[in-house]
């Protein structure tokens, strides 16, 4: 194994947290191992120990200890089929942004037993890009529009747009039961709590963070409603938690849903959460307006066709 290496931080990476820098540089090294290196002081910046939240400055000298990384072809690297799927899912790319129609079932980043996610795979696919990071998140089982920044300045601008709720965010979801009235505003604060088995769940609670979702009925089926959900805030699991709070959980939602009702959908071939990030729109300073749309995936469209002909 080679010895320690020194990396000098380029201007484009200035402002990035050291933990995110390490996760990019030490490809294939588990997140737990990366944070252990930081805790033990094995990673040094300008000769000193730093916390995981330290933000790099241009010209910083980062010492990386010798660590075994995943070799090419090991299981922790995405397969050529996965990378080909992601390449075909790109719906917009320029010198500042990369936007994909994320497949359901793929996490946005690795960790917690997940060898790699979308961002790690795309970094391998764009080896010459000096910077590539997530501007926001989608749940693993949610498909649709996902934005990554190719410049630190673009990432900062996008974080501001999402934080200040200036991004147009529209989702398609199949909800249990007939939705009445057909247009509803769910303005209910959400708070993280421990659910069954210790999993994190979001519940409506007066002490939670403000959250607003507008829901509009698009089509009614026997026992189900196809809706367009517009997010005005960006809380974890917001649509899923809000839909469950009004008695209309999202179809095939293992955390917030109705397993008994979902059984009928399984017989019709549905194997995933029916939640799709259909549209994103935002202003990127110095870059103009960006609007992207991801069509409803074939498996979800096929289910709707079966419901229509029941």
User: How distant, in Å, are the alpha carbons of 7, 31, 111, 127, 294 from that of 115?
Assistant: 25, 10, 6, 19, 26
- Active-site residue flag, 258: no
Beta strands per DSSP E along the chain = 5-8, 44-45, 61-64, 90-93, 97-102, 133-134, 143-149, 168-176, 183-187, 190-194, 200-204, 212-221, 224-231, 275-284, 288-293
* Structure letter (DSSP) for residue 56: P
Kindly tell me the burial class for residue 299, based on how many C-beta atoms sit within 10 Å of its own C-beta (0-12, 13-18, 19 or more).
middle
Of 185, 201, 284, residue with least CA distance to 235: 201
- Hey, CA dihedral for 131, 137, 141, 142, is it positive or negative? negative
CA 14 to chain CA centroid, Å, is 23
Of 297, 225, 111, 112, residue with least CA distance to 134: 111
Residues listed for the chain: 310
Phi first, then psi, for residue 121 (nearest 5°) are -65, -40
The single residue of 19, 101, 139, 141 carrying the catalytic annotation is: 139
CA 109 to CA 115: how far, in whole Å?
9
Residue pair 308/223 in contact by the 8 Å Cβ criterion: no
Triad 231, 232, 238: Cα angle to 5°? 50
Of 261, 229, 233, 244, residue with least CA distance to 163: 233
Q: List the catalytic residues.
A: 139
């Amino acid at each position: 194994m080679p010895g320690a290496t020194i990396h000098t931080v380029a201007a484009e990476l200035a402002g990035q947290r050291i933990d995110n820098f390490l996760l990019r540089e030490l490809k294939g090294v588990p997140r737990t191992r990366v944070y252990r290196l930081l805790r033990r002081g094995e990673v040094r910046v300008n000769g000193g120990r730093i916390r995981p939240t330290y933000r790099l400055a241009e010209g910083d000298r980062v010492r990386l200890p010798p660590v075994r990384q995943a070799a090419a072809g090991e299981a922790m690297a995405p397969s050529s089929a996965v990378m080909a799927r992601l390449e075909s899912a790109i719906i917009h790319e320029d010198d500042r942004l990369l936007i994909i129609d994320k497949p359901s079932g793929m996490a946005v980043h690795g960790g917690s037993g997940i060898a790699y996610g979308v961002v790690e795979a795309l970094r391998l696919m764009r080896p010459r890009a000096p910077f590539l990071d997530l501007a926001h998140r989608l749940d693993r089982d949610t498909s649709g529009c996902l934005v990554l920044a190719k410049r630190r300045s673009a990432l900062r601008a996008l974080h501001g747009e999402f934080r200040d709720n200036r991004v147009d965010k529209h989702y398609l979801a199949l909800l249990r039961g007939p939705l009445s009235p057909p247009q509803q505003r769910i303005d209910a604060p959400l708070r993280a709590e421990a659910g069954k088995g210790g999993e994190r769940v979001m519940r409506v609670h007066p002490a939670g963070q403000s959250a607003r979702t507008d829901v509009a009925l698009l089509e009614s089926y026997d026992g189900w409603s196809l809706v367009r959900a517009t997010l005005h805030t960006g809380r974890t699991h917001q649509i899923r938690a809000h839909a469950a709070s009004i008695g209309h959980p999202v179809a095939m939602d293992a955390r917030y849903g109705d397993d008994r009702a979902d059984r009928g959908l399984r017989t019709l071939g549905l194997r995933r959460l029916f939640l799709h990030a259909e549209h994103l729109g935002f202003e990127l300073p110095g870059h103009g307006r960006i609007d992207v749309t991801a069509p409803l995936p074939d498996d979800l469209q096929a289910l709707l066709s079966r419901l229509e002909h029941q």
